[in-house]
Structure 1
Amino acid sequence: MSIYDTLNVEQKKAVLQTEGPVLILAGAGSGKTRVLTHRVAYLIDECGVNPWNIMAITFTNKAAGEMRERVDKIVGFGSESIWVTTFHSTCVRILRRYADRLGYSNNFTIYDSDDSKSVLKNIVKQYNLETRDLKLRQIQNTISKCKDNLVTANSYTLSSGNDFQKQKIAKAYQEYQISLKKNNAMDFDDLIMNTVILFRENKDVLENYQERFKYIMVDEYQDTNNAQFELIRLLADRYKNLCVVGDDDQSIYRFRGANIRNILDFEKNYPDATVIKLEQNYRSTQNILDAANTVIKHNRSRKEKALWTDDGEGSKVRFCEFEQAPEEANFIADDISNKKRQGKLSYSETAVLYRTNAQSRLIEERFVMYGIPYNVVGGTNFYARREIKDLLAYLKTIDNGSDELAVRRIINIPKRGIGATTLNKIADYAGTHDMNFYDAIAHANEFITGKTVDKLHDFDLMIKAFRAKQKMMSLEELIHDVIDVTDFEEYLKSLEEDDENNGSQDNDRRQNVQELIGKVISYEEKADEPTLSGFLEDVALVADIDNVAEGDERVLLMTLHSAKGLEFEHVYLAGLEEGTFPSYMTINAEDSDPMAMEEERRLAYVGITRAKKELTISCAHRRMVRGSFESLAVSRFVDEIPERLLDRSGSSVMPSFLFEGGDTIEDDDDYDYDADAYMPSSRGNNTRRTFGNSSGYSGSSYTRADYADRSYGHKNFSSGSAYNSAANTSSRLGGFKSNANDRSSEKIDHVPGSSIYGPVGKPKATIGRKPAARTPVSKPFIAGAASSHKSAGKGSLNGISKGLQKPSALDYKEGDRVSHIKYGVGVVKKIEDGARDYKVTVEFDDAGQKIMFAAFAKLKKL
């Protein structure tokens, strides 16, 4: 029997349809990776296609590696010749060869979002481009959005007209691009845009790659932006053997520039396209699939499909309602602990998903109390760590002396007595003599006097010595030499002393450096021809999801965006309330921007379909939102699930005064919104998710450097983390390793029936019961409304849990000075009358521009 006979009917059709444009609509868990792998194997083994002529674009390096391995097992040869990479890796490989056509050298540096922000911040300050209405973040986002849409700095400048704000952004964009080229650097957005420009302006280069890539496959096509769409269109334009795989129902990156129309309009762009639907699911039970199907069918902008499985109905979806967010967190921890003790689940096959990072703290605290080991997504990316960025800056300077940002970072690390005044003089000399920053250092004696000249001379000689050694040393030897020559160990010691003096738990810097050395060794072992440029490229493009340890016996906590592409036996989907998920901002904008709600619903669909065997969804009717406790209704996404699919036996109601706490959810708290709505943030590799720990490893809720290849660092949390304030523990985790043991059967200073918020007790089953109305201790607006309504003799206020009522009128107007409990004093710039509330734009003196809703903001006129 042929290996292709093991595929189902639609999968086999997708594999055998090799010619012309093909759209494979692959539902969640439908075996698309298997289809892609077999399709590549079929092209090589049965169709006689040279592996050299096949390109496959994936969204993670891990996926690319797995595809090569699977093809190799099937065919036995050729996998190493297939071009299987991410979008950004593809563009880097092309640009390394032809960068000179665009005015760059081939050892250009790739700037992450922090690097880009630093360069842009200097430009904005130098040209005084920030105003009360225009902040750095908006400028950076606008530039990123321009690049997503292939709008160059010159084009944007021409289109700015007499618009004062656009003119300032145009100036920043122009100077930013000039600075990048001077530093021989590209940001993540440049990688795509510059490759498209290269193809458009160099017909010979385009034809070369068109001839090479006769068969092109693109995974996760629903996540592509306009620049990526154009890149693929150009490459496939000659042979048109383009196969795109994706699921419009899982398009959740609109805020980063992803254009769902790319997949929805594929047949319009390619009228002769073959469309194949993969609807048989090999992951989840039918009840879970039915829940997902009934939720997503409420979207209008989608291609009709319904997931099904022959693996049985399985358990119903558990839906648990709680009065308070801490109670919800306690239930999740208790449920996982009990099932683990009974042998009903494995930590490594369990995940807790939520809409925003702010929701994780309560869950983490409960996990610490119950002794549940876990990893968390959120915090500071490994490569964004101070000591790591310092060492990488040395390597970048050795590799590319034109990178002013890198040179400036290390010129006084460790301290050499080279101050800001000296750096400004170097920059001025470089600008006057049309040379880069590093080259100007060699001429220091022409514009600097005294001992500083000797210090700069020594620095210059050191870098030149490293460059000479690089030609003779392995990369491992080189990084060890940098550490030794610069006395980096003493520098780390001083940083750790500062950490301890500041009471920081985050001082495992030596271990982090060892982890970086390990990554250097790993790169050299795997690369065919390891180079310093290649390693720095890997570092820039690596995906966080690639770093997740397989079988790591820990529960994974993450946002729904981070969960994309993953699957777990047991999934807890927390925070299903109106105002949390979907967000209040999305709800208020529903009339003017219905696509925002559709994206939220797709996110719910993604969350539901992560579960293989058991799905538990939960909500809390009271949660801290924007600094105060609010009453919240059950999410519409829960209401959209038929009652026959739900098991409500896990709900409980407790007195609200027992629970106070939880991180507040702000308007812009990881909802991926901005003052400039849906403007993508600067990032590299499409998106960067980061696995963090209490020390702070994260991926900043998907910055662009985040997104493209889904890149992040990985850290472990456990029962020994700094979050265990209740247990009064002070042990900490270091590097990528955890020194905490699995204490699943041990509860740390935790007595059943108690919590750091007060008595908890065992959850009581209240099937179908709705929580009684309670007056919050903190008496936010909604509580006051309830009590005043009752005191007026009108009885209890029905429906009060549905959220704050829209104010009948505001006591302030545009131009008034107002104060906010968190952001301080500012000026009201704009008031918009929405269907459910007034949307107020305020320019705060210190916090910048914020968009809030009147009922929540509680602004006071001054």
Structure 2
Amino acid sequence: MSTRELRYEQELNPQQRAAVFHEKGPALVVAGAGTGKTRTLIWRVARLVEQGTDPRRILLLTFTRRAAKQMLGRAAELLQDERARRVSGGTFHSFAHTVLRRYGRYADLPVNFTVLDRSDSEDILNHLRTEMGFAGNQQRGLRRRFPQKRALGEMASRATNRRVPLRGVLLRDWPQFLPDEEELRALIERYQRYKQEHRLFDYDDLLTELLRLLEERKAIGERLASHFQAVLVDEYQDTNRVQSDILRALVLHRGIMAVGDDAQAIYSFRGADFRNIMAFPRDFPGATLYRIEENYRSTQPILDAANAVIARATQRYEKRLFTSRSDGPAPKLVGCTDEASQAGFVADEILRLREEGMALEEIAVLFRSSYHSFELEAELAHRNIPFVKYGGFKFAEAAHVKDAMAHLRWLVNPKDLVAAQRCLLVLEGVGPVAARAIAERAASSPGLSEGLAAVQSPPRAAGALDRLRIALAAADRAASPAEKLEVLLPYLAETLVRRFDDFPKRMRDLEHLVSIARRFRSTDRFVSDFSIEPPADHTIAGVSGVENEEEPLVLSTIHSAKGLEWRAVFVISVLDGYLPQDYAFRSAEELEEERRLLYVAMTRARELLTLTYPAMIAPSGARATMRSAMVFAKPSHFLDGIEEVVLPHTVVAGAELFDGITYEDDIA
């Protein structure tokens, strides 16, 4: 038992405490930005365990495994014992993977399926696209472009996650491809059959197959529902339609507590459905609603401005953030002449803050889209202000890391033709046609090594293929995934030296991959987990940090900044057409998400918040650089009606703003 009495009264505010002490039935906790959402979940876990709930009968679903591990670790620290670490915690996908491995046979699913990551799925779609004759421009007698593999993957995924027909996805997101609807449907259906034939699951399959299992095998659903006495869901506003359906089937309207913030629902492009959190009381009848509104991050003037922006949302849960930090300057709205002067103003302010003692790493510049910061990046570089920009490839997406993982995947599943072709295409003298033929021959043999030995390889590739066969055979004899990778490293090093100028950096990445693999005993589990929850916090070759004694300034898209905070935040280009982006005006739903984006950006600031916009911009598509080609702009209409005392508005542009500008220029 716990050796510590939990200090609920001292450690939690009244709103947090009410949610933590929830007795029974479904509950929705609407926790505003900076209000201690994670803290509330941690204490809820500790409370359940303290009250005698078997930790193994608590399910905590988060959007990263790391988040779940950290929450359970902190709950264990509260209880001063290890009980909380036995809670079933992880992502929706890892939970689905576990259930399908255990119960999939009851739904006629293969036991030894392989999990595809996004790029592998796209590679299969690209192969099928070519195989079915859709790769060229000639379509039904008309010369037009057929979607590329990335768009194809997104189309298939969105249709699955939203549980809508392909036509609905095309109408909303890709109307230009409506003439290709018939071919696209045929391609996606062929993709589904291909995965079944080769025992492959993509991310979406993990969720849809779990849902099918729960819906078609009621006994299994009831068994899981009765096993888990409590289900806790983090970031509920980011769930998609399939995930919400899984929860309804899993908990049978009992024992679920979802935590989220409707005002921070900004990931519809990933399939997240804002309607899930709004429909929670309907989906789970009798649900208790808790609001957590005391903010521990920002000053009250910043919260007043953010509250004013979100108060005009058409759909929302009523809440108003407040804090005990009542002092602090009001946020500012600053108009600049153009994007160049906006960049100059922001750089000046950053230097001023640094001179006043604020470290660069405590300052962030946020923007709607990556290209909005190009002018500022040039200005910062010109002034030798070090900065880092959030984004770029993740560790698991680097080509050399994917190559190494492909070798393990091929060992685990010899029928995984995507992994096989990736391994084979690295070889000198092997092209796509030969790679596929070799992969298919190997897949039809009793063993991978025997299959490769029997292959009639292209003359130029005979030696390389033999080296690959020997390396795979040696790795297959090794026990753990780390040992297999260590056996493969000399062979992989040869390919790196031949293919990349920066092979030493890439080799270090593969050595780091070995260290990750040491956490696993099963190669199958390592391969699956790496696909489902790849490490995202590691530097990869080709992406270098800023070499400077001082930690750098942060530039970030708003989407990448969610969950983070800084002492001072600049949000640039806050004007219609940028934030909100012009395409958002096509639907009220998309426009409302843009409003929530601005709210998220504003609530990243702890002490200082500045919104800027250029008073003149080049019209969309304009390439001229003459001042007469510019048109006047106005701040985002999301700021309309906010009182001057809440958001003071100043313009730093001089008389040059009007040089060469005529009324006719503006309305042309």
Same fold, TM exceeding 0.5? yes
Q: TM-score, normalising length from structure 1?
A: 0.68
What corresponds to 2:114 in structure 1?
109
Code of the aligned partner of 1:580: Y
What corresponds to 1:262 in structure 2?
276
Identity %: 30
What corresponds to 1:633 in structure 2?
634
Confirm or deny: 8 A CA contact 2:303 2:321 kept in the other structure: yes
- Unpaired stretches in structure 1, ≥5 consecutive residues: 157-162, 498-506, 657-771, 776-782, 790-796, 806-862
Code of the aligned partner of 1:618: T
Q: CA deviation at 1:320?
A: 1.8
Confirm or deny: 8 A CA contact 2:306 2:603 kept in the other structure: yes
Q: CA deviation at 1:655?
A: 7.6
What corresponds to 2:339 in structure 1?
325
Q: CA deviation at 1:328?
A: 1.6
The question of 1:423 aligning with 2:429 is answered no
Confirm or deny: 8 A CA contact 2:427 2:465 kept in the other structure: no
Q: Residue 658 of structure 2 aligns to a residue in which SS?
A: coil
Q: Residues 583-732 of structure 1 correspond to what in structure 2 (within 5 A)?
A: 583-587=581-585, 589=586, 593-624=587-618, 625-628=620-623, 630-631=630-631, 632-648=633-649, 651-653=651-653
What corresponds to 1:29 in structure 2?
34
Code of the aligned partner of 1:72: A
The question of 1:125 aligning with 2:130 is answered yes
Q: 1:483 aligns with which of 484, 489, 509?
A: 489
Q: Residues 766-785 of structure 1 correspond to what in structure 2 (within 5 A)?
A: 772-775=657-660
Deviation per CA, 1:98-128: give whole Å up to 9, x if none. 4445555555333222221111011112112
Cα distance change of structure 1 residues 543 and 465 upon mapping to structure 2, 3 Å threshold:
closer
The question of 1:63 aligning with 2:63 is answered no
Code of the aligned partner of 1:51: P
Confirm or deny: 8 A CA contact 2:453 2:469 kept in the other structure: no
Q: Residue 232 of structure 2 aligns to a residue in which SS?
A: strand
Deviation per CA, 1:529-550: give whole Å up to 9, x if none. 533233333433447775699x
Cα distance change of structure 1 residues 184 and 627 upon mapping to structure 2, 3 Å threshold:
farther
Code of the aligned partner of 1:653: A
Measure the CA separation in 1 of the matches of 2:455 and 2:88: 50
Measure the CA separation in 1 of the matches of 2:566 and 2:641: 23
Confirm or deny: 8 A CA contact 1:182 1:402 kept in the other structure: no
Q: Residue 156 of structure 2 aligns to a residue in which SS?
A: helix
What corresponds to 1:535 in structure 2?
526
Measure the CA separation in 2 of the matches of 1:543 and 1:564: 20
Measure the CA separation in 1 of the matches of 2:19 and 2:552: 37
What corresponds to 2:175 in structure 1?
none
Code of the aligned partner of 1:224: T
What corresponds to 2:15 in structure 1?
10
Q: Residue 644 of structure 1 aligns to a residue in which SS?
A: coil
Measure the CA separation in 2 of the matches of 1:328 and 1:604: 18
What corresponds to 2:499 in structure 1?
495
Q: Residue 599 of structure 2 aligns to a residue in which SS?
A: helix
Q: Residue 646 of structure 1 aligns to a residue in which SS?
A: coil
Q: Residues 531-570 of structure 1 correspond to what in structure 2 (within 5 A)?
A: 531-542=522-533, 553-570=551-568
Cα distance change of structure 1 residues 71 and 647 upon mapping to structure 2, 3 Å threshold:
same
Measure the CA separation in 2 of the matches of 1:448 and 1:519: 31
Deviation per CA, 1:715-766: give whole Å up to 9, x if none. xxxxxxxxxxxxxxxxxxxxxxxxxxxxxxxxxxxxxxxxxxxxxxxxxxxx
Q: Residues 88-103 of structure 1 correspond to what in structure 2 (within 5 A)?
A: 88-101=93-106
Q: CA deviation at 1:250?
A: 1.1
Q: Residues 255-654 of structure 1 correspond to what in structure 2 (within 5 A)?
A: 255-343=269-357, 345-415=358-428, 417-426=429-438, 435=444, 442=451, 445=454, 456=465, 459-469=468-478, 471=479, 474-484=480-490, 486=491, 488-497=492-501, 507=502, 509-522=503-516, 524=518, 527=519, 529-542=520-533, 553-587=551-585, 589=586, 593-624=587-618, 625-628=620-623, 630-631=630-631, 632-648=633-649, 651-653=651-653
Q: CA deviation at 1:11?
A: 1.0
Q: Residue 280 of structure 1 aligns to a residue in which SS?
A: coil
Code of the aligned partner of 1:535: F
Code of the aligned partner of 1:27: G
Q: Residue 577 of structure 2 aligns to a residue in which SS?
A: coil
Measure the CA separation in 2 of the matches of 1:532 and 1:490: 23
Confirm or deny: 8 A CA contact 1:22 1:274 kept in the other structure: yes
- Unpaired stretches in structure 2, ≥5 consecutive residues: 170-177, 540-544, 625-629
Confirm or deny: 8 A CA contact 2:395 2:536 kept in the other structure: no
Q: Residue 211 of structure 2 aligns to a residue in which SS?
A: helix
Measure the CA separation in 1 of the matches of 2:472 and 2:487: 12
Deviation per CA, 1:565-598: give whole Å up to 9, x if none. 22221111111011111112223x2xxx211211
Q: CA deviation at 1:613?
A: 1.2
Q: 1:187 aligns with which of 202, 212, 224?
A: 202
Q: CA deviation at 1:281?
A: 1.1
Code of the aligned partner of 1:94: V
Cα distance change of structure 1 residues 103 and 654 upon mapping to structure 2, 3 Å threshold:
farther
Q: CA deviation at 1:310?
A: 1.6
Cα distance change of structure 1 residues 98 and 510 upon mapping to structure 2, 3 Å threshold:
farther
Measure the CA separation in 1 of the matches of 2:498 and 2:108: 41
Deviation per CA, 1:488-541: give whole Å up to 9, x if none. 3343233334xxxxxxxxx4x4324313422431453xx4x5332333334334
Measure the CA separation in 1 of the matches of 2:655 and 2:499: 47
Q: CA deviation at 1:184?
A: 2.9
Measure the CA separation in 2 of the matches of 1:626 and 1:44: 59
Stretch moving more, 199-208 or 269-278? 199-208
Q: Residue 119 of structure 2 aligns to a residue in which SS?
A: helix
What corresponds to 1:253 in structure 2?
267
Q: 1:229 aligns with which of 231, 235, 244?
A: 244
Deviation per CA, 1:599-649: give whole Å up to 9, x if none. 110111111111111111111123454353653222112334321023446
Q: TM-score, normalising length from structure 2?
A: 0.86
What corresponds to 1:50 in structure 2?
54
Q: Residue 28 of structure 1 aligns to a residue in which SS?
A: coil
Q: How many residues align?
A: 630
Measure the CA separation in 2 of the matches of 1:353 and 1:421: 46
Stretch moving more, 388-397 or 314-323? 388-397
Measure the CA separation in 2 of the matches of 1:652 and 1:438: 72
Confirm or deny: 8 A CA contact 1:323 1:655 kept in the other structure: no
1 or 2, which has the higher helix percentage? 2
Code of the aligned partner of 1:125: T
Cα distance change of structure 1 residues 653 and 449 upon mapping to structure 2, 3 Å threshold:
closer
Stretch moving more, 185-194 or 104-113? 104-113
Measure the CA separation in 2 of the matches of 1:546 and 1:48: 36
Measure the CA separation in 1 of the matches of 2:643 and 2:446: 64
Q: 1:148 aligns with which of 161, 166, 171?
A: 161
Cα distance change of structure 1 residues 26 and 422 upon mapping to structure 2, 3 Å threshold:
same
Q: Residue 500 of structure 2 aligns to a residue in which SS?
A: helix
Stretch moving more, 97-106 or 345-354? 97-106
Code of the aligned partner of 1:205: I
Code of the aligned partner of 2:267: Y
Confirm or deny: 8 A CA contact 1:418 1:455 kept in the other structure: no
Code of the aligned partner of 1:609: T
Q: CA deviation at 1:464?
A: 2.5
What corresponds to 2:627 in structure 1?
none
Measure the CA separation in 2 of the matches of 1:126 and 1:53: 48
Stretch moving more, 368-377 or 249-258? 368-377
